[in-house]
């Protein structure tokens, strides 16, 4: 019975009802023909406001009309969007966006981590059972591509948006992932994708894959690789997009807080990429320049055309990751002119992408969503020069000191059997085998280590992992740590650096913490099924996948712990 008729009948009968059921004016909600997921590596939320996504469009210092500005003026923006976990690295970030959950569930707890079962450090996308695939075909013995091609999503323990889309459509949907980084292509694409492609710059300058996705590259990608686009971008070099005065909000072009390319006397414009190539990995130098972002848009459009994405009634998914923004942030930090120019040029590339999607798929027929895999800290040496509380900390000396205390307190051990196996991802890994041999309680040792580490001036706190669940109820930072922790792949003690303190060199910056400079990132939606609006209610990275699944009308990834962004979905036209 129609809900309005039912309500009327009940009222006539003397009954009072309250209902929040929304009445649709259409039988079904339109589904996009193509969904484009965009991850901007190391993009902080404040870049949108600093570079003018909401400012006067006539200012030359702002984004143009067709990229980021189009997303905020025509689409939906989540203004308080965060990672609800730590550590905040590239691998976990990409996995979390497309699985709708956190490292505690999907298993990608870092870019690299110590695998206790294997007794070695492992990489998030490595897989020795597969071989690389290039224009030359399958790299059978690994002699050409080496480890660069031995990659797959085997370590990802949950499904992705693309995986569920493939199952829901009986395999009819097409799913691809593309990035300059292997992990940026593979983890979003997922297990059942038609392809994941990443850039191989040594001598070749082409996109490669592994035979997890097929024994040969698709014809359209082989054609693209043969066009020489990478060399053309090398020849263009990198100069400023605008006159010098546009960059006045940034630091001077040559400042003590930014690093240089290898072989470069000083980090200043213009950049002769061909001259830098020999000492910077050949074509890999493009990864840290706007040319890397241009390549991603180029290959994405080649995929839309060559694979005929968005050309039927079955929704397709294209996952794009722009890595150049991360490389430049690591090298020069968030306030360098290079960083500003990188984002102004990325904005133009997004506009080119969106215009092409309008032409190839049709206005209103595609949906895009954009976020980041993590943010990035201010350069501590820059902040310290302004009198702000930021600095550097080096965990190595601290671990040596604590190991000596452990030897004194719990007994001496052979040199090859220390109490502390390693420190990584801001966590301490204890020697469980040694503890078992000595019949010692793991939690006792973990608490001892945490107590000895806590007074270090670079640390906000140090916590035994066994005590974290109880503390999480009142400490939001600890709650984030738990969502990023997985037994067997994570440590026994959490080390929490002070806000703004990093373990890094004196130039450029890094990320990984549970604080806002690393957790606060953009979340933008545009296109089919997306209303115009914004919300200041807090949303999380794990909420993106269930929200997009609602737009596609497909099942959630099987490990989903996030919830749909109701402020977006409830304001759509009904």
CA 318 to centroid of chain Cα atoms: 15
Contact 321, 272 (CB under 8 A): no
Tokens linked to 174: 């097409």
Q: Which of 10-14, 87-91, 442-446 has the lowest mean pLDDT?
A: 10-14
pLDDT at residue 496 in the model:
97
412-471, pLDDT tens digit by residue?
998 889 999 999 999 999 999 999 999 999 999 999 999 999 999 999 999 999 999 999
For 18-77, write each residue's pLDDT tens digit.
Answer: 333 332 333 335 899 999 999 999 999 999 999 988 865 555 568 999 999 999 999 999
- Sorting pLDDT into bands at 50, 70 and 90, what band is 12? very low
Same domain, 468 and 554: no
Q: Which residue has the tokens 């995929």?
A: 303
The closest of 89, 70, 48, 10 to 363, measured between CA atoms, is: 70
Residues 411 and 392: their CA atoms lie apart, in Å, by: 32
Tell me which of 464 and 6 has the higher pLDDT: 464
Average pLDDT over residues 94-105: 98
Q: Is the pLDDT of residue 9 over 90?
A: no
* Residue 487 neighbours by CB under 8 Å, 6+ apart: none
User: What 3-state class would DSSP assign to 53?
Assistant: coil
Assess whether 433 and 525 both reside in one domain.
Answer: no
- Do 445 and 347 lie in one domain? The reply is no
Q: Are residues 510 and 376 in contact, defined by beta-carbon separation less than 8 angstroms?
A: yes
Q: How confident is the model at residue 554 (pLDDT cuts 50, 70, 90)?
A: very high
Task: Starting at the earlier edge strand, list the strands of the sheet with 459-464.
Answer: 420-424, 427-430, 493-497, 459-464
One domain for residues 96 and 244: yes
* pLDDT range class, residue 524, cuts 50, 70, 90: very high
Domain count, the chain: 2
474 and 403 in one domain?
yes
CA-CA distances (angstroms) from residue 237 to 213, 241, 265, 290, 421?
Answer: 33, 12, 17, 9, 45
- Domain membership of residue 42 (yes or no) is yes
Q: Which of 39, 62, 88, 90 is catalytic?
A: 90
Look at residue 17 and tell me if it is in a domain: no
pLDDT at 334: 98
Contacts of 171 (CB under 8 A, 6+ apart): none
Q: What is the pLDDT of residue 59?
A: 59
Contacts of 251 by beta carbon, 8 Å cutoff, 6+ apart: 257, 258, 335, 336, 337, 382
User: Does a structural domain hold residue 574?
Assistant: no
Residue-number span of the structural domain to which 189 is assigned: 34-383+521-569
pLDDT above 50: residue 358: yes
Residues 217 and 310 in one domain: yes
What is this structure's pTM?
A: 0.93
430 and 420 Cβ atoms separated by less than 8 Å = yes
Do both 210 and 112 map to the same domain? yes
Asked if residue 190 belongs to a domain, the reply is yes
Q: Is the CB of residue 305 less than 8 Å from the CB of residue 22?
A: no
Q: Are 257 and 381 in contact (CB under 8 A)?
A: yes
Pick the closest to residue 45 from 93, 81, 87, 95 (CA basis). 81
Any idea which residue has 């309680």 for tokens?
441
CA distance 181 to 42: 13
Mean pLDDT of the 519-533 span: 97
Q: How much of the chain exceeds pLDDT 70, in percent? A: 93
∠ CA 431-156-189, rounded to 5°: 150
- pLDDT beyond 50 at 170: yes
- Residue listed under structure tokens 């905020």: 72
- Shared domain check, 443 and 370: no
| 90 classed as catalytic | yes
pLDDT of res. 202: 86
CA 20 from chain center: how many Å? Answer: 36
Domain-located, residue 219? yes
Round to whole Å and give the CA distance between 86 and 514. 5
Say what the pLDDT of residue 22 is: 30
Q: What is the pLDDT of residue 2?
A: 41
Q: What is the CATH number of the domain that holds 456?
A: 3.30.1360.150
Identify whether residues 525 and 474 lie together within a single domain: no
Phi, psi of 187 (to 5 degrees): -65, -40
Does residue 84 form part of some domain?
yes
Let me know whether 318 and 439 are in one domain.
no
Residue 508 domain-assigned (yes or no): no
Regarding whether 340 and 456 lie in a shared domain, the answer is: no
- pLDDT > 50? residue 11: no
Note whether residue 184 is domain-resident. Answer: yes
pLDDT score recorded for residue 62: 81
Question: Average pLDDT of 266-276?
Answer: 96
What is 521-533 written as a DSSP string? --EEEEETT--SE
Final residue belonging to a domain, choices 463, 497, 531 = 497
| In a shared domain, residues 373 and 413 | no
Kindly report the CATH number assigned to the domain that includes residue 313. Answer: 3.40.720.10
Query: Span 186-192, mean pLDDT?
Result: 98
| Distance, first Cα to last Cα, the chain | 19
- How long, in residues, is the chain? 574
């Amino acid at each position: 019975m129609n809900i309005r008729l039912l309500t009327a009948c009940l009222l006539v009968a003397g009954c009072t009802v309250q209902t929040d059921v929304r009445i649709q004016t259409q039988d079904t909600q339109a589904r996009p023909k193509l969904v484009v997921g965009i991850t901007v590596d190391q993009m902080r939320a404040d870049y949108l406001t600093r570079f003018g996504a909401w400012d006067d469009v006539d200012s030359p210092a702002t984004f143009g009309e067709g990229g980021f500005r189009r997303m905020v003026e025509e689409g939906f923006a989540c203004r308080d969007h965060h990672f609800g976990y730590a550590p905040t690295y590239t691998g976990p970030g990409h996995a979390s966006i497309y699985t709708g959950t956190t490292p505690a569930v999907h298993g990608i707890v870092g870019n690299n981590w110590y695998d206790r079962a294997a007794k070695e450090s492992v990489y998030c996308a490595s897989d020795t059972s597969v071989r690389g695939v290039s224009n030359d075909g399958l790299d059978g013995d690994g002699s050409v591509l080496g480890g660069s091609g031995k990659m797959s999503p085997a370590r990802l323990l949950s499904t992705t948006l693309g995986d569920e889309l493939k199952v829901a459509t009986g395999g009819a949907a097409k799913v691809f992932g593309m990035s300059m980084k292997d992990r940026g292509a593979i983890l979003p694409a997922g297990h059942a994708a038609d392809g994941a492609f990443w850039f191989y710059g040594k001598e070749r300058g082409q996109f490669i894959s592994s035979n997890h996705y097929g024994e040969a590259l698709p014809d359209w990608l082989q054609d693209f690789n043969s066009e020489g686009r990478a060399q053309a971008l090398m020849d263009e070099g990198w100069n400023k997009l605008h006159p010098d005065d546009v960059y006045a909000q940034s630091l001077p072009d040559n400042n003590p807080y930014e690093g240089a390319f290898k072989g470069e006397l000083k980090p200043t414009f213009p950049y002769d990429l061909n001259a830098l190539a020999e000492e910077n990995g050949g074509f890999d130098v493009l990864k840290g320049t706007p040319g890397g972002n241009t390549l991603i848009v180029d290959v994405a459009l080649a995929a839309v055309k060559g694979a005929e994405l968005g050309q039927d009634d079955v929704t397709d998914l294209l996952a794009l990751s722009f890595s150049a923004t991360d490389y430049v942030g690591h090298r020069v930090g968030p306030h360098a002119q290079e960083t500003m120019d990188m984002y102004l040029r990325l904005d133009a590339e997004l506009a080119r992408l969106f215009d092409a999607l309008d032409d190839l798929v049709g206005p209103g027929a595609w949906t895009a969503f954009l976020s980041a895999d993590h943010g990035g800290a201010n350069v501590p040496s820059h902040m310290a020069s302004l009198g702000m509380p930021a600095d550097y900390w080096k965990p190595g000396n601290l671990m040596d000191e604590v190991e000596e205390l452990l030897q004194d307190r719990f007994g001496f051990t052979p040199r090859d059997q220390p109490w502390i196996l390693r420190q990584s991802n801001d966590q301490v890994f204890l020697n469980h085998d040694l503890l078992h041999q000595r019949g010692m309680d793991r939690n006792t040792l973990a608490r001892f280590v945490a107590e000895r580490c806590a007074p270090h001036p670079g640390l906000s706190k140090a916590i035994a992992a066994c005590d974290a669940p109880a503390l999480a109820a009142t400490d939001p930072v600890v709650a984030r740590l738990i969502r990023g922790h997985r037994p067997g792949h994570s440590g026994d003690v959490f080390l929490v650096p002070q806000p703004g303190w990093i373990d890094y060199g004196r130039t450029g910056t890094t990320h990984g913490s549970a604080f806002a400079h690393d957790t606060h990132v953009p979340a933008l939606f545009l296109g089919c099924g997306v209303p115009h609006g914004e919300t200041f209610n807090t949303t999380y990275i794990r909420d993106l996948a269930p929200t997009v699944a609602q737009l596609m009308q497909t099942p959630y990834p099987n490990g989903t712990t996030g919830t749909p962004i109701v402020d977006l979905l409830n304001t759509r036209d009904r």
